[in-house]
Amino acid sequence: MVAHSTIDETIEGAPARYWHALDDGRIQCDLCPRFCRLHDGQRGLCFVRARRGARMMLTTYGRSSGFCIDPIEKKPLNHFLPGTPVLSFGTAGCNLTCKFCQNWDISKARAFDRLQDLATPEQIAQSAVESGSRSVAFTYNDPVIFLEYAVDTAKACRARGIRTVAVTAGYVCAAPRAEFFAQMDAANIDLKGFTEAFYHRLCSAALAPVLETLEYLKHETDVWLEITTLLIPGENDSPAEIEALSAWVMEHLGPDVPLHFTAFHPDWKMLDTPPTRAGSLIEAREIARAAGLRYVYTGNIRDEDTQSTYCHGCGARVIGRDGYDITGWRLTAYGRCRDCGARCAGVFEGSAGSWGGRRRPVVPGGLRL
């Protein structure tokens, strides 16, 4: 591993891992299933991994589009240290091309005009400690494309007792996937739809590698896993598709992986598609629960009934939520229902935090371009 601890090094970028030279003189990136093949000076589709001479570089190492302390429920993670603050940041670029992107100002950034904040991994970890954050989240844009920066930051966090969270589409090859998630304590995987046609047409990507990542996380790691599906009217919200998605989760991941159905708002290249009705989210939740999933939530709307957590043993509301506020708590310190003793799946330590819905910007390194 290359250690990066100075601002000069972070401004220059860092050597990238996961690539090899081809016989025709190009270099192939092996980080994600796009396998970009680059001549000198070219960038990959994600824009942040680039060929310089005979090697690949991560051009955004140490640079961020901003740091903010968020509620952990905003990632969304409902079963991972509920109510606690998480220091969140992203960089620029993305390895998917979703026409419905809800963060396009960051993910589509090209001139790096958004990358104003400079921070080393050590500075980020220290900022998390000083701000009272329980975890650091790699989010806003997909962290697999800035793997080297995320991994170094995660190691610095763990050395200080700070947990780590990845919010990602899970579109990554097997070897980098293992390195990346070995440093993560929790992940929310964006399962964008449940057909290859959807992934191909709207994201220029494929579903199968994402399903592989989900199975890998559940069966081969200790990473706490939740899933989010943004329901887009007329694109991925048919009852048949939601039934198929839910049945797959039940069969391949089991009943305890939380599933979030969140509302789309018109954005990026899908400005003519209407926003998701609250009723659609609630219906999707019913379908998933009927398939046997225990923890299914609506998101991007406000509805305490469908955003609270219920005991799978007795049906008691064990975690009440109103927006990002925890309104009820009936779990023991180790996550058991106070009424019947059934265990609620997740990572619980003591009682809930009280961070609520606050968002507080911070500048970990104190340096801005």
Q: Which is nearer to ligand SF4, 46 or 270 (CB)?
A: 46
User: Which residue among 4, 17, 34, 321 contacts ligand SF4 (CB under 6 A)?
Assistant: 34
- Options 43-51, 76-84, 126-134, 267-275: segment touching ligand SF4 (CB under 6 A): 43-51
Q: CA 76, CA 83: separation in Å to the nearest integer?
A: 12
Q: CA 61, CA 150: separation in Å to the nearest integer?
A: 9
User: Which residue among 35, 208, 215, 338 contacts ligand SF4 (CB under 6 A)?
Assistant: 35
CA nearest 59: which of 76, 73, 44? 44
Q: Are strands 14-15 and 55-58 parallel, antiparallel or unpaired?
A: antiparallel
246 backbone dihedrals φ, ψ, rounded to 5°: -65, -40
Using CB under 6 A as the binding rule, whether residue 334 contacts ligand SF4 is answered as no
Using CB under 6 A as the binding rule, whether residue 326 contacts ligand SF4 is answered as no
- Options 39-47, 157-165, 241-249, 291-299: segment touching ligand SF4 (CB under 6 A): 39-47
* Smallest separation (angstroms) from ligand SF4 to the CB of 21: 15
CA nearest 17: which of 150, 122, 137? 150
Using CB under 6 A as the binding rule, whether residue 260 contacts ligand SF4 is answered as no
8 backbone dihedrals φ, ψ, rounded to 5°: -55, -45
Using CB under 6 A as the binding rule, whether residue 31 contacts ligand SF4 is answered as yes
3-state secondary structure 22-45: CCCCCEEECCCCCCCEECCCCECC
> With contacts defined by CB under 6 A, how many residues of the chain interact with ligand SF4?
12
3-state secondary structure of 353: coil
- Options 41-49, 68-76, 340-348, 355-363: segment touching ligand SF4 (CB under 6 A): 41-49
Strand ordering across the sheet containing 367-368: 63-64, 117-118, 367-368
Site string for ligand SF4, 69-108 (x = CB under 6 A): --------------------------x-------------
Positions that interact with ligand SF4 (CB under 6 A):
29, 31-32, 34-36, 44-46, 49, 95, 145
